[in-house]
Each structure stands twice: as structure tokens, then as C-alpha cells.
Amino acid sequence: MPDFQSLYAQLFEKLGEIVDIRHTLALMQWDQEVCMPQKGAFARGLQLATLAGLEHRLFTDAEMRSLIDTLRGHTEALSPEQAALVRETAHDLDRGIKIPESLVRLFAEAQSRAYEEWVEARRTSDFRRFQPHLKTMVDLSREKAEFLGYEESPYDALLDEYERGMTATKLRPIFDALAGRQSALVARIAESPYQPDVSWLDQAWNESAQLCFCEEVLRDMGYDFGAGRQDISVHPFTTTFDVQDVRITTRINPRDFLSALSSSIHEGGHALYEQGLPAAFRRTPLADAPSLGLHESQSRFWENIIGRSHPFFRRYLPRLRELFPGQLDEATSTDLYRAANRVAPSLIRVDADECTYNLHVILRFEIETALIEGSIRAEHVPELWNAKMKVYLGVDVPDDAHGCLQDIHWAHGSFGYFPTYALGNLYSAQLTEQARKDIPDFWNTVEKGSFSELLLWLREHVHRHGRMKNSAEIIQDATGSPPSPEPFLRYLEEKYAVLYPAQPQSV
């Protein structure tokens, strides 16, 4: 009988090398989006392809298959954590071996090219520049889906990478419920006599003061700048090279300091998750989130539930007045709270309010399923986008930079990613309901800017598990209930009934 502990040690060692390569790939992408000079893109594409190919070759080689084949049948000889590592690696391997290395290389190279062209296309609002690259990313993703296999829709094979077990068919009724109740809410809000005056916000906000404020809030949240950093990029993101090197980016709107603030808090929420993953399983697939939806629940929790709460603005108004001298003397914390939660159907997803946000996601879900299922082609995207924006949000899209070119995801070939944002909203509301029960002082701690108790709660119930449990189990164990859209809709309806009352009342 083989020595399972020694085989496990071999697996652990080998996964270390593979995860090192994955983190190196993340560094190369971070550099591409944050530092790289423009002409470096050609070589970077080839380098990413080489490393992605190597990673795939090592991860799916005969040694790995043999280790997993043996260990997956003998998890009783392993500790529960060891068994979880074998189970998760086996899952990834079953997926990985279906995709040929040549496709992995092609995909990485195309991704890098598409990213560069997307940046330029977005800057000049020139969809035709991006169109052939979008087509390539759709074609390659479709090919990937065929290799992976699916029951109903090729889209399901891609979605599964981000939210395991989720399918387009399961998503549709959830999205129907969200679209119906959220549209009704948006309509009620539009009719409320209490529309906030946010004209005071349209001032020049010093950019370094904005960055300084974002960094202070991140520190208060518990983000460790000794194990991370914040930079500027076209599209804000979080990336991880180790539990001790988790980096975020933000972007600055010189006329609206709330924009960088919410970006930074959002990415900070992701980063706190990554910095809190089980360090004992660093350099293994266990030190990761079980799904992007659960990951998004953390960014949404901090961005919306905390960062758009009234206690939050009561806490930070004095500091904001110091950082922007003379610019906020008249504003009250209620003004900030109402401005941060103003509901207005708008063009840009990442700037969208909580009531309309999921509508942006649903629109993208509909377009990307159609692209992957082949019922529309890349060239139809702008027209379809603009038509759906009119239907869901009632807005006219002035140009593609403010329309279908706004997001990085399709340039990355990340089809199936968008729905996880909506799922993150749902999970975040469920976790909040429970955290408020467990921490009776919840809103007081926010008002004191003392977030350590909240962070500990998230570390305990979410972060420390890594992929030891799946996202449904984590939600179930943390809240006592399975994933459900109801708490999120309840949260929205309660919060906005107060912010936008039908009848006069105080906020």
C-alpha cells in the first residue's frame, strides 16, 4: 500500500510550483495594467502565453494525474484539510485536462492583445477597433466550452469556472425576481418627492487628497499595506501574489470623490478576503475563494453596506473636511449619505447605485449568453447594448466608451464573470443580517471607524475557510440559510424606503 502522506507531500510540493506560476502570471497582468509601457504589450502577450502554457502543462502532467488518481480514492488516510486539498485539486484537474495546452496559450496571447486594443478602443470610443478581438475572445471561449462540455448551454461551462454548479437556467429565475422587484423600486424612487440635491458634489476634489483618504479608510478596514499596495489603473481590480502580497487599484474622478472611495473600499473588501485566506495553505489551491460570487460578497459588503451607510459618513465627514478644506463646510453627513446612495439610472456599471446595479449585470448576462450561444455576433453588441440600456434603465448611450466598451471582462475573455457580481450582492445581504445579530453593536463600531470586530467576523465565517467549503456551505453555515435573493431585496427595499420616502419623513 502506498504511503499516502508521502504522496500528499509530493502533491503539496508540486502544487507549490504551480501556484507560484499562477501568481507570476498575476504579476505579469498587474504590471501590464499598472506599469507596463505601451510597446511592451507585444512581448508581454507571448510571455503570458508561455507561462500559461507551462502552468497548464505542469498542472496536467502524468505525475499530477497519478498523484490525484491515487489520493482521491484514499482521502480517509488524510486529514480533513488534506482531503479538501485533494478534492479541490481533483476538481481543477478534471477541468484542466479537458483543455489542450495549445488553446491555453492561444487564449493567453489573445487576451493580452485584446486587453491592449480594448484600452485604446475605450479611450477613443472606437468599438470597431475592439470588435475583431471581441470576436476572437468569444470564439476561443466557445471552443473552451466545447472542450469542457456542458448539458444545456456552452455558457454554463464558462460560468462554472467562476461559480461552481451555477447555470444560465438556474440564474434566469433569480435574475427575473431581481429585475422585477428592483425595477419597481427604481420606479417608486423616481416618484418620491425627496430627490437629494447633489450639486455640491460637483467640485474639483484634489486627487492626492482623494488617494490619501482612500488609503486611510483602507487602513481602518484592516487592509495591511505592508502586504499590499494601491495603484491607479483604467479598471480597478484586486490581485494576489501571496496572502502577504495582495494589491488593489482604484481610479480617480476629479469631480466626484465618492467614486474613488467606493472603488477603493470595494477592492479593499476583496483584498481583506485574500489577506485572510488560510496561510497554512498558501501556495495551494485551497488558499482561494470557492467562488467569485462569494468573493464579491466581501467587496459589496464593504463598499455598499458599510461604505454607503450613514454611520460611515458620520465617522468620516470631519476627516473629509480636513482633507478638502472649505469644500465640505456646508455639507452634513446626511448630505453625504444621500449623495452616496442617490439612485439614478446611469451609464456606468461600476458607478451604479445599489438599486440599478443588478440591472447592469442582467443586461451583460443576456448579451454574453447570446454571444456564447451564437445567437448574436460581436458586431451586434453596441446596438443590442444600447437598446437594452433603454429598456432596463431608460438611458440613451452617447458612445461606446460609455456603453459596451466600459468593462474589461470581455477583453479578458471572462464570459460568465458578470453574474457573480449580482450573486455577491445577494450573499452580502445574507451575511450582514447574521453579522448584525452576532454583533449587536454593529452600527456603533462603524460610526467609530473601528472595523476589527466586523473583520474578525468575516475572517471566522468566510475568509479562513478558503476552498475548504463551497460557497453555498459557507453561506449556510454562517447564516443558517441557503443562498437566497430575499435578504438582499429586503435590505434594498428597507434602506431606500427611508432614503426616498413616498411621504414626508426624516432620513
- Contact set with a copy of itself (CB under 8 A): 16-17, 20-21, 23-24, 27-28, 31, 35-40, 42-44, 46-47, 50-51, 53-54, 224-229, 241-242, 244-245, 247, 282-283
Which of residues 47 and 327 has its CB atom nearest to a copy of itself in the complex? Answer: 47
CB of 36 to a copy of itself, least distance (A): 7
Which of residues 147 and 225 has its CB atom nearest to a copy of itself in the complex? Answer: 225
CB of 411 to a copy of itself, least distance (A): 20
Query: Do the Cβ atoms of 181 and 489 come closer than 8 Å?
Result: yes
Count how many residues are written for the chain: 507
All cell numbers assigned to 112: 493580452
CB of 89 to a copy of itself, least distance (A): 17
Question: Where would I find the beta strands (DSSP E) of 264-389?
Answer: none
Which of residues 275 and 333 has its CB atom nearest to a copy of itself in the complex? Answer: 275
Q: How far apart are CA 323 and CA 320, in angstroms?
A: 5
Active-site residue identified among 55, 116, 117, 267? 267
Which of residues 16 and 180 has its CB atom nearest to a copy of itself in the complex? Answer: 16
CB of 227 to a copy of itself, least distance (A): 4
> Could you report how far apart the first and last alpha carbons of the chain are, in Å?
70
CA-wise closest residue to 199 among 342, 297, 317, 58: 342
Q: How far apart are CA 343 and CA 196, in angstroms?
A: 9
Q: How far apart are CA 45 and CA 53, in angstroms?
A: 12
CA angle 216, 221, 222 (to 5 degrees): 100
Give the burial class of 38: count Cβ atoms within 10 A of its Cβ; 0-12 exposed, 13-18 middle, 19 or more buried: exposed
CB of 326 to a copy of itself, least distance (A): 26
User: Radius of gyration (Cα) for the chain, nearest Å?
Assistant: 23
Helix (H) / strand (E) element for 246: namely strand 245-250
CB of 58 to a copy of itself, least distance (A): 8
Which of residues 42 and 200 has its CB atom nearest to a copy of itself in the complex? Answer: 42
All cell numbers assigned to 271: 483584498
CA-wise closest residue to 84 among 469, 421, 492: 469
Residue labelled with grid coordinates 449585470: 361
CB of 33 to a copy of itself, least distance (A): 13
Which of residues 181 and 247 has its CB atom nearest to a copy of itself in the complex? Answer: 247
Query: Do the Cβ atoms of 213 and 387 come closer than 8 Å?
Result: no
Query: Do the Cβ atoms of 429 and 303 come closer than 8 Å?
Result: no
DSSP alpha helix (H) spans, 35-126: 41-59, 62-72, 80-96, 101-124
Which of residues 220 and 245 has its CB atom nearest to a copy of itself in the complex? Answer: 245
- The yes-or-no answer on residue 267 being catalytic is yes
**Residues known to be catalytic:** 267
